[in-house]
Chain A
Amino acid sequence: DIVLTQSPATLSLSPGERATLSCRASQSVSSNLAWYQQKPGQAPRLLIYDASNRATGIPARFSGSGSGTDFTLTISSLEPEDFAVYYCQQRNNWPPLTFGGGTKVEIK
């Protein structure tokens, strides 16, 4: 199974700052990687698919990059509603679909 490792576990930033989240795969997943945002008590929301494509309705401040084993989610300027937990997920070699352990973006 492909293991996805996210770092850091927690990112403490202020509104307006840039957030850079990392996801590393245990073997190549090509560009078959997605990012999700989850707020407390809510289901995850798809942000990015195929490593760099924004899902419908996702603001342009969210961008994804990478291929192979190393991926990045960037939030260019944090809005108050962006403080949440973010997960990466691969579909390159499934089953199983696998998720990373998550990065919590908290207010500094």
Chain B
Amino acid sequence: QVQLQESGPGLVKPSETLSLTCTVSGYSISSGYYWGWIRQPPGKGLEWIGSIYHSGNSYHNSSLKSRVTISVDTSKNQVSLKLGSVTAADTAVYYCARGDYPDYWGQGTLVTVSS
């Protein structure tokens, strides 16, 4: 059973960096698939943030400019997200998910940007 679990602070101050980790169980990241981050502001739709392959090849949404860093740690079976210079507009539920048709998702974690 493939499971994904997001973890990280639920509250981040404006201008600081949001950092989240996705721990995958039941499947080895090294076996394949892109692993990505998707977010959903309260009451709104889904926005793809970026994805990474186990080799480290990654893509991110250009709308987030250079604020996004996605990395993978195959030894821990984890994928991480860093989003810099956050503002209130970055308040959202953040999901990690497997694949370019995401078939397994984490439960999501709400990150609020507020002072």
For the complex, give the distance between the alpha carbons of A42 and B40 in Å: 11
Q: DSSP majority for the A interface?
A: loop
- Interchain CB contact under 8 A, A43 and B103: no
A54 within 8 A of B: no
Residues in B whose Cβ lies below 8 Å from that of A98: 48
Q: Interface residue tally of chain B, by bracket?
A: 20 to 34
Segment of A16-24, A63-71, A72-80, A87-95 in the binding face: A87-95
B47 within 8 A of A: yes
Residues in A whose Cβ lies below 8 Å from that of B107: 42-43
- Interchain CB contact under 8 A, B61 and A46: no
- Interchain CB contact under 8 A, A94 and B100: yes
**Interface hits, B78-115 → A, CB 8 Å:** 95, 97, 100-103, 105-108
Q: Interface residue tally of chain A, by bracket?
A: 20 to 34
Binding site for B on A (CB under 8 A): 34, 42-46, 49-50, 55-56, 87, 89, 91, 94-102
Interface centre among A44, A45, A100 (most CB of B within 10 A): A44
Residues in A whose Cβ lies below 8 Å from that of B61: 95-96
Q: Could you say which of A49, A95, A96 contacts B101, with CB atoms under 8 Å apart?
A: A49
